[in-house]
A = this chain, B = another copy of it.
Amino acid sequence: MIKIETCLTPEILHLHQLEGKIAVVTDVLRATSCMVAGLNAGVKSVIPVKKVEEALTYAAKGYVTAGERGGVKVEEFTIGNSPYEHMEEAYHGKSICMTTTNGTVAIDAARKSADQVVIGALLNVSSIGRYIKEQQKDVIIICAGWKGNPSLEDTLFAGALVDQLKEEVEITDDATYMALSQYQSAKNNLSEVIQNHASHAKRLSGLKAQNDLAFCATEDYCDVLPILNGDEITIK
């Protein structure tokens, strides 16, 4: 039976063993939602980097750059951290180098020892579920959280994924059980719960951000499986 565990924040990732496991990294608001939506729309690949300076070296080589610090677009970058920007036709067929406060940090932590790193969001949660059932490997869900603290929306993603797999996995830690029951009590009004209770939702204001929030809370908007190969995330 597949074993599944959840790391609610990268701050405690050192307590988990990643070797031999599929790491599913999520940052629902909004890094991994951008990646999933962009790749689904036609973006060729996403190159996640930890630092703004690294992204700027990609910019110098002509890459599209994307991302934020503290929720605000980095001035020099082409685009920010709204999934709608990542879906624009101008970037179809292009590679986007991306860095964010939490999401790309989590990917970087995962890639060091996990067997595979796949990119999850509520937008593609069923694709991830199907892939794990095919692979039959142990799984760790890594929630990006917010500056080291657990976040509601990422925990809900973890719960949504576990809910799909619950007949076929052994839950090995309390965080996974808690994520599952959190999701089960919120699943009928996921968008409302995130908009009303996620502290990150309160940090995002304005009409554009409201649209982003509603979009990122959509389960199974698309059917893509973004996976990290070397330095690039592409659709499998």
Contact = CB atoms under 8 A, between A and B. Distances in A.
A181 interface: yes
Interface stretch (A59-67, A104-112, A169-177): A169-177
A152 interface: yes
A148 interface: yes
A116 interface: no
- Pick from A11, A150, A155, A174 the residue with the most CB of B within 10 Å: A174
Contacts of A8: 8, 150
A22 to B, nearest CB: 20
A12 B9 contact: yes
A175 B152 CA distance: 7
A124 interface: no
A15 interface: yes
Interface string A176-208: 011001101110000000000111100000000
B174 A198 contact: yes
A64 B205 CA distance: 57
B147 A174 contact: no
Nearest to A197: B177
8 contacts: A8-B150, A15-B149, A149-B173, A150-B150, A150-B174, A150-B178, A173-B199, A185-B185
